[in-house]
Structure 1
Amino acid sequence: MNGRSERELADLLRAAIAGDERAYARFLEGVSTHIRAYLRRKITHGGVDAEDVVQETLLAIHLKRHTWMPDAAVMPWVYAIARFKLIDAFRRRGRRVEIDVDDIAESYAQPEAETVSERDIGRALEGLAPGQRSVVAAISVEGRSVEETARRFGMNEAAVRVALHRGLAAIARRFGRD
């Protein structure tokens, strides 16, 4: 960016803060071009929509325009806001990659249905201590969450997790699956 553009944008923002709506529209139009270029350089892979980040940045500029110091350069302030909005967008996206299951469904074999009888479940649970048996049955058989199980048995969640882990480990040892 050349010095003239920086000065021009700063002058437009000063006028906008003073109440000139046309100057504000020209400022937002001019600065959005710079923000888009900045984001194109920063977003090197999919998952984050640059235009969404541009709009979030422009909204943040609008809401925080009173924090800009009129005697300071405007573009470092704008780029800082854009950088934080880009970071927010990456955080929202997380470290996951989303793939439509229909696109890959044929490439995976269908799992064979395993059936476990109540007798097998009873046999697996019978060697456990009563507390472990209750926790393993609640979570693994009944499908309850750790939180629900903790409330049900008057335990804290950490104790439920420990009992579940120890119970499953005991079952694995008993059936030779260390």
Structure 2
Amino acid sequence: MRVEDREKQWRLLMLSANGGDAAAYRNLLVQLTPALRAFARRGVARAGAALTDAEDIVQETLLAVHLKRQTWDEQAPLSPWLFAIARHKLIDALRRRGRRIELSIDDFAESLPSADAGSDSIVSDVKRHLEELPPGQRKVVNCIAVEGVSIDEAASRLSMSNGAVRVALHRGLAALAAKFRSVES
């Protein structure tokens, strides 16, 4: 679809959505998501951040669009307004992330201790910290990281979308990593 046609369609859907048409609003969000996802992925890739951060940015942008959709000037194109919100959410995410460098664990596999060293205490620590997660994150982390099921299977089992499972997994693992970092300090 040409950019001009896309802009016209988004504008009409937003006008209908602001007029109270729930189906048009749902359709608009479905159409906006791939464009926002591509924008977020390009932004995090340029910043050297993990692609998993992109989905959080998409969700935060969609939430902001929902909360601020009445502020859009109906005489103006929708894309500049939309991507300004997305740009601000990207910047916010990168600021929260800070200046971390992410490295592949494969680079350090030979220097890591074997799994036998203190594995009982690690298992009990993981279980204890897993119980401290919010229920939704705990279920997703348990399904994927502990039981080893796929994203698709976890989404089906937990009645969630794949995107929601990825977000919950990312947040749950980040929370666990923070807990383990604080234990090590």
Query: What's the TM-score bracket when you normalise by the shorter of the two chains?
Result: 0.5 to 0.7
Partner letter of residue 24 of structure 1?
A: Y
Give CA-to-partner distance per residue, 1:78-107, whole Å, 9 cap, x none: 100000000011011001236699x85975
Q: Which residue of 2 aligns with 1:11?
A: 12
Q: 1:85 and 1:4 mapped to 2: Cα distance?
A: 26
Q: Which residue of 2 aligns with 1:59?
A: 63
Q: Which residue of 2 aligns with 1:25?
A: 26
Aligned residues of 2:49 and 2:102 also touching (Cα < 8 A): no
Partner letter of residue 94 of structure 1?
A: G
| RMSD (CA atoms) | 2.5
Which segments of structure 1 move beyond 4 Å, counting only runs of 4 or more? 98-101, 103-108
TM-score of the superposition, structure 2-length normalised?
0.52
TM-score of the superposition, structure 1-length normalised?
0.54
Aligned residues of 1:15 and 1:23 also touching (Cα < 8 A): yes
Higher radius of gyration, 1 or 2: 1
Q: 2:34 and 2:102 mapped to 1: Cα distance?
A: 30
Q: 1:39 and 1:47 mapped to 2: Cα distance?
A: 11
**Identity percentage over the alignment?**
49
Unaligned runs of 5+ in 2: 113-185
Partner letter of residue 4 of structure 2?
A: G
Unaligned runs of 5+ in 1: 109-178
Q: 1:61 and 1:67 mapped to 2: Cα distance?
A: 9
- Secondary structure class of the residue paired with 1:43: helix
Q: Name the one with the larger helix percent.
A: 2
User: Kindly tell me: are residues 104 and 33 of structure 1, through their superposed partners in 2, closer, same or farther at Cα, counting changes over 3 Å?
Assistant: closer
